[in-house]
Amino acid sequence: MKYVKYGKCVRCGRTYPAVPDLTTCECGGILDIVYDYDAIRRDLTKEALAARPERSMWRYRELLPIEDGTEPPPLRVGWSPLYEEGRLAEELGLGRLWVKDDGQNPTASLKDRASAMAVAKAREAGAKVIACSSTGNAASSLAGNAAAAGLETYIFVPSRAPKGKVAQLLTFGATVISVEGSYEETFELSKAAIDRWGWYNRNAAINPYLSEGKKTVALEIMEQLSWQVPDYIAISVGDCCTIAGLWKGLKDLYAIGFIDKLPRLSSAQAEGCCPLNRSIETGEPWHPMEENTLADSIAVGVPRNADKALMAIRESNGLTVSVSDAEILAAQQLLGRTCGVFGEPAGVTGTAGVKKLCRQGLIGKSDTVVSVVTGNGLKDVANAVKACGEPITIPSDMGRLLDAFAQRGIRPE
Amino acid sequence: MKYVKYGKCVRCGRTYPAVPDLTTCECGGILDIVYDYDAIRRDLTKEALAARPERSMWRYRELLPIEDGTEPPPLRVGWSPLYEEGRLAEELGLGRLWVKDDGQNPTASLKDRASAMAVAKAREAGAKVIACSSTGNAASSLAGNAAAAGLETYIFVPSRAPKGKVAQLLTFGATVISVEGSYEETFELSKAAIDRWGWYNRNAAINPYLSEGKKTVALEIMEQLSWQVPDYIAISVGDCCTIAGLWKGLKDLYAIGFIDKLPRLSSAQAEGCCPLNRSIETGEPWHPMEENTLADSIAVGVPRNADKALMAIRESNGLTVSVSDAEILAAQQLLGRTCGVFGEPAGVTGTAGVKKLCRQGLIGKSDTVVSVVTGNGLKDVANAVKACGEPITIPSDMGRLLDAFAQRGIRPE
């Protein structure tokens, strides 16, 4: 890979050649992919980029750890819309606000960016099978992206996984192993199987390439903003790989001179599960927490990529904000009503955080903010039902309709 | 509108000025929007189109019935991916096959194209409120697109509408009226309310502009194929507006010389509800049918746009194919497993039809086919669960995993 130097441990600094099946450091630390920014600076200009017809995460080829000859996997991942939301900015009391709707991806979450990268690297490794353990968006995005590329998947889920999510995996043709036990036991069986059969490992905290896929969300945001850096980028945080990827993308752009400063990150977690935010706020190392939140995709009591995420938030002089489940559901309604964007609970947690920071006066009229919605609300309709109340229920009768409107103070014009 | 001549009744031929709130003909017939193709031919070239950065349905501005100054509504609708599916073509015994995944739209169905058009025209009409009656994709796409544009919506649903769909509407801030009665009674109350308050009417069989939105799916397919016309385009058919729109788009392109022939349409309906296919097959006028299919979005016993659809299929020398619910669910699995595309039952009915036509020997190795997937499978997870069987359920134990694989003949490599 012309622009990749090596993988480097974020803990001990040891470096490793960037082979396709790279995993973690011997010391247990997570690796970071290091680029030759001077070479990229020389070869990639904003003008060249603007002229590329490709509208997907693969338009940023020089900044991605794939070989020249590697064909991107088939599904169209990335280049999700960035909407300026003037009315919502007004309502919250912000200078300007944009929403990046990453629910607009093939399997409806930001995780498609990582899974598409996993499929690309698995092909380079000559693998025919990819495996992971997950109940959520990582699993469905892997199953979908691998199916499109003709690769087999083995996916390990704890038996408590909702039937709907399992159905999505089975529809994509994955071999799904439902493990009677905890998530930890599920992970252990998947690890043993991966070791035994040598499957390609799609686990964002083990495989260092996956963050590189996720970082494309940052590259797109900045290009869509014509390289004008906002004051803040807000995102929900669970196992920490996404915020780490976001930060990596921003630093890449700074390193090659495409942006002249870095935004501050806003790390949003659920109050019932916020080990990372606690660590930042107390200055202590992070401690495992219970997983008490309905935002299942960020209910991660033991974040597997905490090192990179803590570094990202600190380096960016970031904010932390933890929100209740009620605040998360309120943000889901707010985004739906004012933006026409339907996000899953974990997907809208970043926006719930923005709203709270506005109320607390920590951000306001002089600030510009991008809020990333990381997954589609159709993934979890049950929680939306809880949040949104009841329709007006009447027989087909105009008199009854008039009464119902009057009772509710609805005055149609 | 520079390129629009008038609306013309498909039944009696009477013409009407193309005002923004145009509805049906006095004779009850549906109107078709007629363009000045000579002018478009003069002003629009393939090269000019290729150079446009806009990647949405609005890139085809000359072929759309909106005023020059009309701002497209905010959500990014259209330019959904077209995937060439070599492995599926092989499996089915087709020459070439492409899948157009229109589940990749803001509210996850092709209906966003019509709703975005409704919002654009409502703005031109100076309306602040749009209304419709529907339980499905038309309702959610209207609610989402209108919310993003800051317009109010009143949506009438029969009280049998699933809670999840109602939740999506409420999340988008729609005023939802749940009518205790049949769909017909729901429609009547909505009509009375629209008449009373003068709301803008989003009903694809009444408002002639909505087909013009839907036709953009055909414009995109042809541009994505570099104007090489396939032998067939396959699509599911319910209330008939979508296939009518598809055909309109193709005829537009033929009229302006962008394509040199027209493909044949393949009209796919559910066996339990196929009034249109029956009419074509028997040569009789269509008769209402029961709505016996799990593909709810095409369970339309009384299609409201049958005139246009019958004309489209006949003009194209099209095929009809009716498929069982089992064949629909099998097509859902097939698309998932081989393409990584997860469609709702009605969304994959076109592909189920393609498979059946291949088996019947009506299409085959010498044919090229585009199959349109009209909606996302996440809209109806319950039916996917029915279709996809059970995962392997075991404790976290390698011995048990080996046994389970052996029993099922799974040989991991």
The beta-carbon neighbor of A396 closest among B143, B181, B376 is B181
A-chain CB neighbours of B157 within 8 Å are 391
Helices marked H in B67-182: 86-92, 111-124, 137-149, 163-171
**Between these two residues, B76 and B160, which has the higher pLDDT value?**
B76
Distance from CA of B315 to the nearest CA of A (A): 34
Please answer whether residues B342 and A171 qualify as being in contact, where contact means their C-beta atoms are separated by less than 8 angstroms.
yes
Subunit contact B83:A148, Cβ cutoff 8 A: yes
Q: What are phi and psi of A57, to 5 degrees?
A: -60, -20
Kindly state the tokens that stand for A265.
């990150």
pTM (whole model) above 0.80:
yes
Q: What is the mean pLDDT of residues B10-39?
A: 96
- Rounded to the nearest 10°, the torsion over CA B382, B387, B388, B389 is 100
Residue spans per domain, chain B? 82-108+210-387, 128-198
Q: What is the pLDDT of residues B76-122, one digit of tens each?
A: 999 999 999 999 999 999 999 999 999 999 999 999 999 999 999 99
d(CA B247, CA B232): 12
Lowest mean pLDDT among A254-258, A402-406, B205-209: B205-209
The pLDDT confidence band at residue A135, using thresholds 50, 70 and 90, is confident
d(CA A103, CA A114): 14
Q: What is the mean pLDDT of residues B259-273?
A: 97
Distance from CA of B342 to the nearest CA of A (A): 7
What are the angstrom distances between the C-alpha of A36 and each of A259, A302, B377?
17, 33, 42
Whose tokens are 């803008």? That residue is B200
Mutation to test the B interface, candidates A133, A378, A386, most B Cβ within 10 Å: A378
The pLDDT confidence band at residue B391, using thresholds 50, 70 and 90, is very high
Please answer whether residues B82 and B100 qualify as being in contact, where contact means their C-beta atoms are separated by less than 8 angstroms.
yes
Does the pLDDT at position B205 exceed 90?
no
pLDDT of residue B183: 78
B-chain CB neighbours of A104 within 8 Å are 76, 104, 106
B-chain CB neighbours of A199 within 8 Å are 412
pLDDT of residue A184: 80
Which residues on neighbouring strands pair with residue B82, listed in sequence order?
B100
pLDDT of residue B136: 86
A-chain CB neighbours of B167 within 8 Å are 381, 384-385, 387-388
d(CA B209, CA B200): 12
Subunit contact A171:B376, Cβ cutoff 8 A: no
Q: What DSSP designation does A271 have?
A: T
Q: Is B199 helix (H, G, I), strand (E, B) or coil?
A: coil
Sheet of B4-9, strands arranged across: B15-16, B4-9, B31-35
Q: What is the pLDDT of residues A225-273, one digit of tens each?
A: 999 999 999 999 998 899 999 999 999 999 999 999 999 999 999 999 9
d(CA A205, CA A31): 9
Subunit contact A189:B157, Cβ cutoff 8 A: no
Subunit contact B196:A398, Cβ cutoff 8 A: yes
Does the pLDDT at position A326 exceed 80?
yes
Mutation to test the B interface, candidates A77, A160, A172, most B Cβ within 10 Å: A172
A-chain CB neighbours of B190 within 8 Å are none
Does the pLDDT at position A70 exceed 80?
yes
d(CA B311, CA B334): 31
Subunit contact A157:B391, Cβ cutoff 8 A: yes
Please answer whether residues B238 and B298 qualify as being in contact, where contact means their C-beta atoms are separated by less than 8 angstroms.
yes
Q: What is the mean pLDDT of residues B379-405?
A: 92
Sorted by sequence, the CB contacts under 8 Å of residue B269 that are 6+ apart come out as B236, B237, B238, B275, B276, B277, B298, B320, B321, B322, B323, B349
Q: What is the fold, at CATH topology level, of the domain defined by B128-198?
A: Rossmann fold (3.40.50)
Q: Which helix (H) or strand (E) holds A31?
A: strand A31-35
Does the pLDDT at position B135 exceed 80?
no
The beta-carbon neighbor of B179 closest among A164, A199, A396 is A396
pLDDT of residue A211: 95
d(CA A139, CA A104): 17
* Number of Cβ within a 10 Å radius of residue A235: 29
Q: Is B152 helix (H, G, I), strand (E, B) or coil?
A: strand
pLDDT of residue A370: 98
Does the pLDDT at position B221 exceed 90?
yes
CA neighbours within 13 Å on the CB side: how many for A136? 22
d(CA B10, CA B311): 10
Sorted by sequence, the CB contacts under 8 Å of residue A157 that are 6+ apart come out as A133, A134, A135, A139, A165, A166, A169, A176, A177, A178, A179, A186, B391
A-chain CB neighbours of B379 within 8 Å are 378
Residue B62's nearest CA partner among B47, B79, B40 is B40
Q: What is the pLDDT of residues A79-126, one digit of tens each?
A: 999 999 999 999 999 999 999 999 999 999 999 999 999 999 999 999
Sign of the four-CA dihedral B134, B138, B143, B146: negative
pLDDT of residue B165: 82
The beta-carbon neighbor of A159 closest among B382, B393, B412 is B393
Whose tokens are 């169905």? That residue is B109
Lowest mean pLDDT among A9-23, A214-228, A256-270, A383-397: A383-397
A170: nearest CA partner in chain B: B388
d(CA B81, CA A80): 13
Q: Is A136 helix (H, G, I), strand (E, B) or coil?
A: coil
Q: What is the pLDDT of residues B347-388, one digit of tens each?
A: 999 999 999 999 999 999 999 999 999 999 998 888 888 888
The pLDDT confidence band at residue A164, using thresholds 50, 70 and 90, is confident
Sign of the four-CA dihedral B185, B187, B189, B192: negative
A-chain CB neighbours of B411 within 8 Å are none
A-chain CB neighbours of B398 within 8 Å are 189, 192-193, 196
Over its C-alpha atoms, chain B yields an Rg (Å, rounded) of: 22
Subunit contact A168:B384, Cβ cutoff 8 A: yes
The beta-carbon neighbor of A173 closest among B336, B376, B378 is B336
Which residues on neighbouring strands pair with residue B152, listed in sequence order?
B129
* Number of Cβ within a 10 Å radius of residue B67: 14
Q: Is B8 helix (H, G, I), strand (E, B) or coil?
A: strand
Subunit contact A385:B196, Cβ cutoff 8 A: no
Whose tokens are 């089975």? That residue is A170
Subunit contact B147:A339, Cβ cutoff 8 A: yes
Residue A193 CB burial class (10 angstroms; 0-12, 13-18, ≥19):
buried
The beta-carbon neighbor of A163 closest among B181, B186, B385 is B385
Residue B404's nearest CA partner among B413, B412, B394 is B394
Q: Do domains B82-108+210-387 and B128-198 have the same CATH topology?
A: yes
Distance from CA of B22 to the nearest CA of A (A): 20
Looking at chain A, the whole-number percentage of residues with pLDDT higher than 70 is 100
B-chain CB neighbours of A83 within 8 Å are 74-76, 148
- Residue pairs spanning A and B at CB distance below 8 A: 243
Residue B409 CB burial class (10 angstroms; 0-12, 13-18, ≥19):
exposed
Residue B360 CB burial class (10 angstroms; 0-12, 13-18, ≥19):
exposed
Q: What is the pLDDT of residues A274-288, one digit of tens each?
A: 999 999 999 999 999
Sorted by sequence, the CB contacts under 8 Å of residue B124 that are 6+ apart come out as B20, B66, B67, B70
Q: What single string gives the DSSP state of each residue in A218-256?
A: HHHHHHHTTT---SEEEEE-SSSHHHHHHHHHHHHHHHT
The beta-carbon neighbor of A145 closest among B144, B169, B340 is B340
Subunit contact B336:A147, Cβ cutoff 8 A: yes
Q: Is B326 helix (H, G, I), strand (E, B) or coil?
A: helix
Does the pLDDT at position B224 exceed 80?
yes
Please answer whether residues B76 and A81 qualify as being in contact, where contact means their C-beta atoms are separated by less than 8 angstroms.
yes
Strand pairing class (B82-84; B96-101): antiparallel
Subunit contact A392:B55, Cβ cutoff 8 A: no
Distance from CA of B321 to the nearest CA of A (A): 24
Strand pairing class (B129-133; B96-101): unpaired
At residue B204's C-alpha, the angle toward residues B198 and B206, to 5°, is 55
Sheet of A4-9, strands arranged across: A15-16, A4-9, A31-35
d(CA A207, CA A405): 56
A-chain CB neighbours of B375 within 8 Å are none
Q: What is the pLDDT of residues A21-30, one digit of tens each?
A: 999 999 999 9
Does the pLDDT at position B170 exceed 90?
yes
A-chain CB neighbours of B104 within 8 Å are 76, 104, 106
Which residues on neighbouring strands pair with residue B35, listed in sequence order?
B4
Residue A257's nearest CA partner among A86, A44, A82, A48 is A44
B384: nearest CA partner in chain A: A167
Subunit contact A166:B83, Cβ cutoff 8 A: no
Query: Quick one: angle between helices B241-255 and B306-315, nearest 10?
Result: 50
d(CA B179, CA B161): 10
Residue B280's nearest CA partner among B241, B248, B307 is B307
B408: nearest CA partner in chain A: A175
pLDDT of residue A382: 86
What are the angstrom distances between the C-alpha of B114 and each of A339, B211, B245?
18, 7, 10
Q: What is the mean pLDDT of residues A381-407?
A: 93
d(CA B181, CA B185): 6
Subunit contact A178:B378, Cβ cutoff 8 A: no
Distance from CA of A267 to the nearest CA of B (A): 25
d(CA B205, CA B209): 10
Give the total residue count for chain A: 413
B128: nearest CA partner in chain A: A413
pLDDT of residue B182: 82
Subunit contact A378:B108, Cβ cutoff 8 A: yes
Over its C-alpha atoms, chain A yields an Rg (Å, rounded) of: 22
pLDDT of residue A183: 78
* Number of Cβ within a 10 Å radius of residue A43: 13
3-state helix, strand, coil in chain B (%, to 5): 45, 20, 40
Q: What DSSP designation does B231 have?
A: S
Kindly state the tokens that stand for A326.
């009620």
Per CATH, the number for B82-108+210-387 is 3.40.50.1100
Query: Quick one: angle between helices B137-149 and A325-339, nearest 10?
Result: 90
The beta-carbon neighbor of B104 closest among A106, A146, A147 is A106
Q: What is the mean pLDDT of residues B159-180?
A: 90
Residue B393 CB burial class (10 angstroms; 0-12, 13-18, ≥19):
middle
